[in-house]
Amino acid sequence: MHASKLLDVIKRAEDGPICMEKDFDFSIMRLKLKELIKDYDIRYDPEVLVPSDDSLADAVFNAALELYLETGTYCLSTHRQIKFEEDEIRLALHEAPSQITFGAGTDERVMANRRIEDRKPPLCLTSGGCEISEDIYAKVVQSLAQEPLADTVSGGYPLKTIFGMVPRAGTPIEILASTYNLIYAKEGTKRAGRPLIGFHNLIGSALSEASYINMNQPELGVRPVDGMLIATLAELKTDYSQLAKALYYSDQDTVLIGGVYVPLMGGYAGGPEGTAIVTLAHHLQGVLTYNVAYSDFPPLHLKYSCSTAPETIWIASIVCQALSRNTHLLTASEAITAAGPCTDMCFLEVAAMSIAGAVSGCHINNASAAKSQYPDRNTGMEAKMGCEVGHAATGLKRTDANDLVTKIMSKYEQNLKNPPLGLTFQECYDLNTVKPSEEHVNIFTRVKKELEDLGLKF
């Protein structure tokens, strides 16, 4: 898609049906979801977190298509709906790439469409989302890149401060932070000895369109084999700022455009059934309004602020299956854990999401720890667990995966209300060698042994 097609999207944002936001949320989307859940008989079963029912997956896809035809995307800047016809949606799905390339040289990795119970390992995207202190930023990225199974890394951590100043959205300091975010992230991969590894998200210190445009600096290492994520707004919304980012990059060919979707289970979409439908509809929105080549999604449990609760694991699994059976879109399920680093619970949460995603036909992204809310609480060890589990789960049958995930869930579900915060990066890594502490390694080893005892073969 070039700028001309994005211009058509913006024109629809200015000419589409007028609608107040509360009417969109309740009178249009919420009512339609209730109708679709009933019509397609979509039901969440707490005993089956990794479903094996192909008809259920197809029902979720068809319901999402019908929902998006009704709602389109709501533009907050114009109070209008951006709507599409069914033939336009199906053409966009047909024209979306079935594979893309991240990185170069020995670190070139292809993200290709996967099937349910695929025997090809998922691409292991490694990342996090919490704020990171400036003095350790490069070291946190290094801790990801030095993991052998990491296929991509991320600069998606916001800088906590830059030169002692907080980079608030829309301020000059935010633009400065976006530059240094890029510099530190690239430095981290060089220190890990993997300067050519791909980034699936280059920047986390940018909210405004000015910062997104500012980070387009090839002289600082930005490449066409790196990616940059644009968020859709919950639920099924956008604004001129997000559309401006997509419009700018649609003709640049300097990075891959990705979409990140964080549907809120317990919000306007309701329970797991409605949130699954909306999550898949977000993927349709990403292709049609932002021209995304790939996507990443953590369905967020509003009560627990994580994606690793039973309901959200089910959402991730059924959405991956629905996409795999009905499209060739490229997407990754993301673990946002309730617990923090250097805890048994954090590793178990990552394992549960990795198994569900790998078996259900998508790629995996690990992990944002401690609800992605506490500074300096992401490390490469969560990524290591996610990568190793994702590879070990490759080729499993869905019934076996469900048995594993259910057993793993029983070990941490009771702690979702009050999860352990864990340790900061500074507390669980040697800052000189960027190696995990003995305590961190011991916890990792213990949890890995537990997973082996449950039947996962590494």
- Residue 81 confidence (pLDDT) above 90: yes
d(CA 432, CA 421): 24
**253: pLDDT confidence band, cut at 50, 70 and 90?**
confident
The pLDDT of residue 42 is above 50: yes
- How many other β-carbons are positioned within 10 Å of the β-carbon of residue 399? 13
Average pLDDT over residues 343-372: 97
Burial of 352 (C-beta count, 10 Å sphere; 0-12/13-18/19+): buried
- Please check the confidence at residue 53 and state whether its pLDDT lies above 60: yes
Q: Buried b / exposed e across 187-222, counting CB within 10 Å, b at 16+?
A: bbbbbbebbebbbbbbbbbbbbbbbbbbbbeeeebb
- Per cent of the chain over pLDDT 70 is 99
What is the rounded CA–CA span in Å between residue 263 and residue 266?
Answer: 9
* pLDDT value of residue 207: 87
> Tell me: the pLDDT tens digits for 316-327?
999 999 999 999
Indicate whether 257 pLDDT > 70: yes
- pLDDT for 203 equals 87
What SS3 class is residue 227?
strand
Examine the pLDDT at 5 and tell me if it is beyond 90. Answer: no
Instruction: State the chain's mean pLDDT as an integer.
Output: 96
Domains of the chain: residue spans and CATH: 114-132+230-236+255-453 (3.20.20.460)
Tens-digit pLDDT profile for residues 184-226:
999 999 999 999 999 999 989 888 999 999 999 999 999 999 9
pLDDT of 1 above 80: no
Residues with Cβ within 8 Å of 105's Cβ and at least 6 positions away in sequence, in order, are 196
272-321 per-position pLDDT tens digit: 999 999 999 999 999 999 999 999 999 999 999 999 999 999 999 999 99
Alpha carbons 141 and 407: distance in angstroms, whole number: 32
Q: Quote the CA–CA distance of 364 and 387 in Å, as a whole number.
A: 8
**Residue 44 and residue 316: Cα distance in Å, rounded?**
12
Instruction: Identify the sign of the CA torsion 218, 224, 225, 228.
Output: positive
At 252, is the pLDDT very low, low, confident or very high (cuts 50, 70, 90)? confident
